[in-house]
Amino acid sequence: MTLKLNIKDTFSRELPADPILENSRRQVREACFSYVTPKKTAHPKLVHFSSEMLQELGLSKEDAASDSFLNVFSGNSVLPDTNPYAMCYGGHQFGNWAGQLGDGRAINLSEVKHNGKNWAIQLKGAGETPYSRTADGLAVLRSSIREYLCSEAMHHLGIPTTRALSLMLSGDMVMRDVMYDGNPAYEKGAIVSRAAASFLRFGSYEILATQQDTDTLKTLVDYTIKYHYPTLGGPSKETYCQFFKEVAVRSMEMVIHWQRVGFVHGVMNTDNMSILGLTIDYGPYGWLEDYDHHWTPNTTDSANKRYRYGTQPQIVFWNLLQLANALYPLIEEVEPLENVLHEYQRDVKIAYLNMMKSKLGLVETNDQDDQLISSLEGILQRTETDMTIFFRKLAQFKTGDAGKGFVLVSDAFYTPNEISDALKKIWITWFSKYAERLSLETISDSDRAMAMNKINPKYVLRNYMAQLAIDDADRQDYRLIDELFQILKKPYDEQPEHEKWFAKRPEWARNKVGCSMLSCSS
Ligand code: AMP
Ligand code: MG
């Protein structure tokens, strides 16, 4: 049985290829990608697949059960009439230009067109490429489960993201030093197949600008606009400025969504910034449990916490600035690029305020909203509070019962007995202000609750949940992967049968590796 995919390669057909075909590490010039064949795996085993993504790509459940599926999405066989490739890009990592990076452990199989949508399909962890630098091109089961579950969960939260089609074990063992402390060990290798309209990143453009290769840069930007921003028009300086503006808007929308649900990406380097404003490259990401603007799950970043929750919108700005520099050779004027950056700074504040208002169920406009929200952020951070539970409970707040606000949300507090009387008073004052503010709204308590429950998810992929699924999978028990996968398809629904996952992080997970501490080792 062969998979009937409607292959429509554009990236590799229209953009310049690296002429060298050998799979050796190298610096690539005047090219957007290098051809490379995935590594054969020992004993691939399908662990899970996304039925929705099957459909999106025009595949059936029978396809998913076939040997072809197993072989293609583990990298053991190449689809007919396709030439897999790794993309070339650079990036600013933790604030510094890092030179050429590229798909070191991702290999693009092909592009597929189905139901009017274009999908680029990649295997992550399918072996080395010319961009693998000192690493092996492989991925381990734990990080693959995390990417697989989270990308589908983000989609169902309504957040732009790359998607995942399948999760496979490769059958090979992979050596990793999880905490970079000199204790390497073998782990199970795995491969995720993922899909997106495009995997182009800010770094894809930066590398060409750094190489002063304006011709290839122009070719790539024109290609991006033609296929991904077709309404912007034909190649011109104005179109390029519009393109930058659109990328800024999409990136802003993405990061405001992250703030809404408490998602912390963990490695917002410019090579991990999608040109389409998609959440991309799920590595040491995490979910805010305790609402803390300074939290980052990434232990590699623990000293500076550059990519902590509270700075994410400003990091997007910094990354856009790098993209502006990369696009400058095509525009040769600073002002229009600066204007877009200024607009970002203005709009991101407004978007953040509106998002926070929606979390509180506020629709009307009021001068004091900024104040109401920042005072809430302040007390939330003085009281160790579970973000998800807090906002879900807040939806049950009754305007006539302001005095009960504190008790209503107290399930969300991690150490309720340690809340001082002074702090309790501040909470009570806040709730009375909130009740006062709600009196300016026109909708009923129950309608507001319904609206808030569509903004504030009940179920997110808490760090310890992913870790439990990983621990089970390590023992060849994949049921929890499926259970979480199904729950996270309806993150805003009550799903009372899954209430046990609507719970604060258990104490054992507070400082556990994999739960609150993750490294880039994957
Ligand atoms: P990340 O920050 O995880 O997105 O990765 C940064 C860069 O390192 C990218 O160019 C990746 O392709 C590369 N990389 C990460 N892990 C590996 C690996 N195991 N083998 C090869 N390249 C890798
Ligand atoms: Mg990356």
pLDDT score, position 100: 98
- Cα(146) to ligand 2 centroid in Å equals 14
Determine if ligand 1 sits within 6 Å of the CB of residue 281. Answer: yes
Q: Is the pLDDT of residue 517 over 90?
A: no
Ligand 1 pocket check for 138: Cβ under 6 Å: yes
Q: Which three-class secondary structure state does DSSP give residue 164?
A: strand
Counting ligand 1 atoms within 8 A of each CB, the residue from 85, 92, 105 with the most, and so the one to mutate, is: 105
Q: How confident is the model at residue 2 (pLDDT cuts 50, 70, 90)?
A: confident
The average confidence (pLDDT) of the chain is 97
Rg of the Cα trace of the chain?
23
Measured distance CA(261)–CA(376) in Å, rounded: 16
205 alpha carbon – ligand 2 mean position (Å):
15
DSSP codes joined into one string, 261-328: HTEE-S---GGG-BTT--B---SS-EE-SB--TT--SBGGGTTT-TT-GGGHHHHHHHHHHHHHHHHH
In the chain, what percentage of residues exceed pLDDT 90? 94
Indicate whether residue 135 lines ligand 1 (CB < 6 A).
yes
Report, as an integer, the average pLDDT of 408-423.
Answer: 96
39 CB under 6 A from ligand 1? no
For 186-235, how does the pLDDT look when each residue is reduced to its tens digit (9 = 90+)?
999 999 999 999 999 999 999 999 999 999 999 999 999 999 999 999 99
Q: For the whole model, what pTM was predicted? A: 0.98
> Tens digits of per-residue pLDDT, 24-61?
999 999 999 999 999 999 899 999 999 999 999 999 99
Residue 492 — pLDDT band, cuts 50, 70, 90? very high
Residues forming the active site: 271
pLDDT per residue over 152-167, tens digit each? 999 999 999 999 999 9
Domain positions in the chain are 11-202, 224-358, 362-453
Write down the pLDDT at residue 307.
97
Report, as an integer, the average pLDDT of 284-301.
Answer: 94
Q: Which ligand 1 atom is the nearest neighbour of the CA of 267?
A: 2
Ligand 1 and 283: CB distance under 6 A:
yes
pLDDT tops 80 at residue 516: no
Q: Name every residue whose Cβ is closer than 8 Å to that of residue 496 and which is 6 or more positions away in sequence.
A: none
pLDDT score recorded for residue 42: 87
Ligand of minimum distance to the alpha carbon of 124: 1
CA-to-CA distance for 367 and 370, rounded, in angstroms? 7
Q: What is the DSSP letter of 229?
A: S
Mean pLDDT of 401-419: 94
Amino acid at 418: E
367 has pLDDT over 80? yes
